[in-house]
Amino acid sequence: MNHHDMFFIDGAWVAPDRLERLDVINPATEEAFTTIAVGAKPDVDRAVSAARAAFATFAFTSKTERLDLLRRILEAYNDRYEDIARAVSLEMGAPLAFARDSQAWVGRAHLEATITALERMELTEQRGTTLVTREPVGVCALITPWNWPLNQIVSKVAPAIAAGCTMVLKPSELSPVSGIIFAEVMEAAGTPKGVFNMINGTGPAVGQVMAEHPDVDMVSFTGSTRAGILVAKAAADTVKRVAQELGGKSPNIILSDADLDKAVSEGVVRCFQNSGQSCNAPTRMLVPADRHDEALGIARQAAETLRVGDPQADDTDLGPVISESQFERIQTLIAQGIKEGATVVTGGIGRPEGLNRGYYVRPTVFGNVTRDMTIAREEVFGPVIALMPYHDIDEAVEIANGTVYGLAAYIQSSDINQARALSHRLRAGTVALNYPAWDTFAPFGGYKQSGNGREYADWGIHDFLEIKGITGHGA
C-alpha cells in the first residue's frame, strides 16, 4: 500500500480533512506518474496539535534516548535506500546513478553526521554559579524544496530530533514521493507518536499556515529568496524563530596560477551537476581577462561532453529540470543573456538535439558576461554558466561580492596560502578551496539574502536549541 493520499500525523497514516489531489509530474516524460493528497489549514492544525502534545514528553528525553532513535532512523533509511533513490529519479528526473550516489547518499550522510555530532555535544555548561543549558526550541515547521529533497529533509529532521524538538514537515509538492518514503522510514524506526508529522501541499495552502501558526515555535525553510521573505513575514506576528537557506549566485574565482584546464572543466561539471538545480552551484566563473577566451574554449568542451537524456540510462549525466515553469524560466533567462550581448559558445535556447519532450535544457556556456547582465545577477537554477573576466584580485573580489546573495564561493589556485587569504575577503557562508569533497560537518548557510542560520552536524543542532541561564545554581 502506498500512502500518497494520506498524511502522517500523530504516529499514524490518516486521511486528509478534505481529499484534494495533485498530479506529480515525471519531468522526463511530462506526464503524471501518481497523485498526492494536498492539505489545508485543518490538517496543519491537527499536525501541530500532535506535535505540541508530544513535545511535553519528548523535550525531556535524554541524549541517549534521542541517539537511539536517530540510529534506528538511519537503519530504517538504509533499508529503504533503493526506494528513495528511485523515487528521486522519477519525481526529479535525476539520473538514477546520481540519485543513488548523491541524492539518497546525502540523507544517509546527514544522519551519520548528526549522530556523531550529538555524541560529542555537551548540552549543559557550568559557568561559576550559573548553569547554562541548551534546550529544545519547541514545535518546528520544516519546509523543504524539491531540488535536493533528502538533503534538506534530513538536515532539518535529524538535528530537530537531536535537540528534542517535535515537528511538522512539508516536502515540496514537486518532489513529494521521497518525502512520503521518508515518513515511512520514521514510522518504521518507531518514532514516538506526534514527534514527526508530515503533510503534503502547496506553499500558500500549507507552508504559509505552518509559518504563521501560533503553536509553532520555529520555522526552518529552504527555498527561493522570494518565498523566504513571505515565510519570514508570516512568522513575524508570533515572533517565532526563522532559519532560512535561500538562493545563491555563487562566484568561482580562478586565479592566474591555477591549472586552467582542470579548474574550468571541473567548474563546469560542478555547476551543471543536478541539472544546475543547486542553490550553491558555482554559476559565475571569474577568469583572468587575458585568458578569458582560452577558458571559454575549455568550458565549451566540458559542457559538450555531458550527456543529457533519459534518467534511467546508464550513460546519462544530466536529466531534465523539474517542471515546465522552471524550463520556461530558464529559456527566458538564456534569451535575455543573448539579448544583452553575452557570448554563447554552446547551448542556447531549446531542448538538446534528439529530445522532443521532457523538460531538458541545453547545457549553456556564456562568455564576456558583465556585472550588469541579468544572467550575472539572477539565479537561473539550470545548466547555465556565466564566464566573467577580471583584471586583478581586487576586481575579482568586487565582482564576487557584488550580488544580493552570499551562500557559497569557490577559489581555484595552486598556492593554497593565496587561496586561504582570499577566502576571508568573500562575503559567503561557505568558501570552497580547490574543489574539496562534500563535508557534512562544515556549516552550511548564507550571508545577505541567502538566508540566516546554519545547517549540518552540530551547526544544525544549535539552530534548534534555546539557551537558558540558571543563575545561583551553584558549582
Residues 6 or more apart in contact with residue 186 via CB below 8 angstroms? 8, 73, 76, 157, 196, 198
3-state helix, strand, coil in the chain (%, to 5): 40, 20, 35
Report the candidate in 86, 222, 217 with the shortest Cα–Cα distance to residue 155.
222
Kindly name the residue from 140, 165, 271, 279 that is annotated as catalytic: 279
- Which grid coordinates belong to 426? 568573500
Which cell is 349 given?
A: 535556447
Kindly name the residue from 184, 187, 212, 245 that is annotated as catalytic: 245
- E strands present in 154-250: 166-170, 196-198, 218-222, 241-245
**35, β-bridge pairs:** 23
Strands (E), 118-195: 124-127, 130-136, 139-143, 166-170
List residues bridging with 12 in a β-sheet.
9
Q: DSSP assignment of 261-301, as one string?
A: HHHHHHHHHHHHGGGG--TT---EEEEEGGGHHHHHHHHHH
And the C-alpha cell for 331?
A: 529559456
For 446, phi then psi, to 5°, come to -125, 165
Between CA 35 and CA 26 the distance in angstroms is: 11
How is 58-121 classified by DSSP, letter by letter? HTT--HHHHHHHHHHHHHHHHHTHHHHHHHHHHHH---HHHIIIIIIHHHHHHHHHHHHHHHH-
What is the C-alpha to C-alpha distance for residues 273 and 408, in angstroms, rounded to an integer? 15
- 279 is an active site residue: yes
Angle at 249 between CA 248 and CA 252, to 5 degrees: 125
Which residues are designated catalytic?
245, 279
